[in-house]
Structure 1
Amino acid sequence: MLSNIRIVLVQTFHPGNIGAAARAMKTMGLTELVLVNPRAFPDEEATRLAAGAVDVLENARCVNSLEEAVSDCVQVVGASARLRSLPLPHFDEPDDMAQQVIQNAVQAPVALVFGRERSGLTNDEIRCCTHQVSIPANPEYGILNLSQAVQILAYEVHRAWRKRDDNHFMYQRPLEATPPSRDQFVHFQDHLGRLMQQSGFITQPHARTEEQLQALFSRAQPSRKELSLLRGLLSAFESHLPDSRKG
Structure 2
Amino acid sequence: MLSRIRIVLVQTFHPGNIGAAARAMKTMGLSELVLVNPREFPSIDATRLAAGATDVLENARVVSHLDEAILDCVQVVGASARLRSLPLPQFDEPDEMAQAVVQNADHAPVALVFGRERSGLTNDEIRACTHQVSIPANPEYGILNLSQAVQILAYEVHRAWRKRPESAFAYQRPVEATPPSREQFAHFQAHLGRLMHQSGFLTQPHARTEEQLQALFARAEPSRKELSLLRGLLSAFETYLPPDEK
TM-score class, shorter: 0.5 to 0.7
**Superposed displacement of residue 82, structure 1:** 1.3
Structure 2 letter corresponding to 1:142: G
The code of the aligned residue for 1:130 comes to T
TM-aligned CA deviation for residue 167 of structure 1: 7.7
Preserved CA contact (<8 Å) 2:91 2:97: yes
- Per-residue Cα deviation, 1:124-157 (whole angstroms, up to 9, x for no partner): 0001000000000000000000000000000000
CA contact (8 A) 2:114 2:146 kept: yes
Deviations 1:199-219 (A, max 9, x none): xxxxxxxxxxxxxxxxxxxxx
Q: CA RMSD in A?
A: 1.0
**Residue aligning to 2:183:** none
Give the Cα–Cα distance (whole angstroms) in 2 for the partners of residues 16 and 167 of structure 1.
Answer: 32
Query: How far, CA to CA, are the matches of 1:35 and 1:164 in structure 2?
Result: 30
In structure 2, what is the equivalent of residue 132 of structure 1? 132
User: Does 1:18 find its partner at 2:6?
Assistant: no
The letter of the residue matching 2:87 is P
Larger Rg: 2
Give TM-score scaled by structure 2 length. 0.67
Tell me, yes or no, if the aligned pair for 2:104 and 2:110 is still in contact at 8 Å.
yes
Give the Å deviation of 1:87.
1.3
| TM-score, L = length of structure 1 | 0.67
1:147 has 2:147 as partner: yes
The unaligned stretches of length 5 or more in structure 2 are: 169-246
1:150-229 mapped onto 2 (5 Å cutoff): 150-165=150-165
Partner of 1:6: 6
Change (3 A) 1:125 1:167: closer
Q: Aligned letter for 1:38?
A: P
Contact 2:19–2:45 (Cα < 8 Å) also in 1: yes
Name 2:186's counterpart in structure 1: none
The Cα of 1:165 is off from its aligned counterpart by 3.3
Matching residue of 1:30: 30
1:216 match: none
SS at structure 2 position matched to 1:62 = strand
Runs of 4+, deviation exceeding 2 Å: 165-168
Deviation at 1:162, TM superposition (A): 0.2
2:41 equivalent in structure 1? 41
1:4-51 CA-to-partner distances (Å, cap 9, x unmatched) read 000000000000000000000000000000000000000000000000
SS of match in other structure, 1:103: helix
1:21–1:167 Cα change, 3 Å = closer
Aligned residues: 168
CA distance in 2, matches of 1:67, 1:156: 25
| 1:197 paired residue number | none
| Amino acid across the alignment from 1:69 | A
Structure 1 residue runs of 5 or longer lacking an equivalent are 169-247
Instruction: Work out the CA distance in 2 between the residues paired with 1:134 and 1:167.
Output: 26
Distance 2:49 2:34 in 1: 17
Match of 1:85 in 2: 85
* Distance in 2 (alpha carbons) for counterparts of 1:167 and 1:20: 26
Per the alignment, residue 76 of structure 1 pairs with: 76
Question: Which residue of the partner structure matches residue 62 of structure 2?
Answer: 62
Distance, in Å, in 2 between the alignment partners of 1:72 and 1:166 is: 25
